[in-house]
Structure 1
Amino acid sequence: MKATNMRTLTVSLTPHQAAMMQNAVENGGYASNSEIVRDALRLWEQREEVRQLELARLKKAYDEGKSSGEGREIDLDTLMAELKAEARSRG
């Protein structure tokens, strides 16, 4: 990775985290602690992107549900009967 526009930050780690990083570098899994942190941040960015997509999907489903009409109260036995009937009709 090209070292242009890099910024130095200070972070605090638990002894366990520091030992894990040191072990990963010593065993050749990573070239440096900085590489480990950059990899962790890439994974965090990916997780955040997935989280945002999931939130958008849930918001869309919520909006679709709200716009689908008035809700109704239903007891568990009736709901189960309706779901079973729907499943039978699908084959």
Structure 2
Amino acid sequence: MSNIQKVSIALSPEFLALIREAIETGEYTSTSEVVRDALRDWKQRRALRELDAEELRRLWQEGIEGGAAVEATPVFKRLRGKYQRLAVSKI
């Protein structure tokens, strides 16, 4: 007994033309193959979005746990001075 079930879907003329073109050019052998491939891509994109969201949550939490924020202006001023001195010393 097969685990495959038939499903009926409604497609716009544009999508139907794309499917037919893919079959006519030999890229796919059937409408089902096109739809299965599209669904695999969709499933993969959904999984990647979830991974991206999890990574963002992890980084956000890491930032929170990293302690209080530091004002950027003095840090950049100190770094500019440091690298200007290094540049002058190499001349």
Question: Within 2, Cα distance between the matches of 1:40 and 1:85?
Answer: 50
Match of 1:43? 41
Gaps (5+ residues) in structure 2? Answer: 87-91
Gaps (5+ residues) in structure 1? Answer: none
* Cα shift at 1:4: 2.3
Question: Within 2, Cα distance between the matches of 1:41 and 1:22?
Answer: 17
* Cα shift at 1:30: 0.5
Match of 1:82? 76
Aligned mate of 2:32, from 31, 34, 57: 34
* Cα shift at 1:11: 1.3
Match of 1:24? 22
TM-score with structure 1 setting the length: 0.75
Structure index of larger Rg: 2
Q: CA RMSD, aligned part only?
A: 2.8
Question: Within 1, Cα distance between the matches of 2:50 and 2:6?
Answer: 28
Pairs within 5 Å for 1:57-68: 57-68=55-66
Question: Within 1, Cα distance between the matches of 2:68 and 2:48?
Answer: 31
Aligned mate of 2:3, from 5, 9, 20: 5
| Displacement over 4 Å in runs of 4+ | none
TM-score with structure 2 setting the length: 0.75
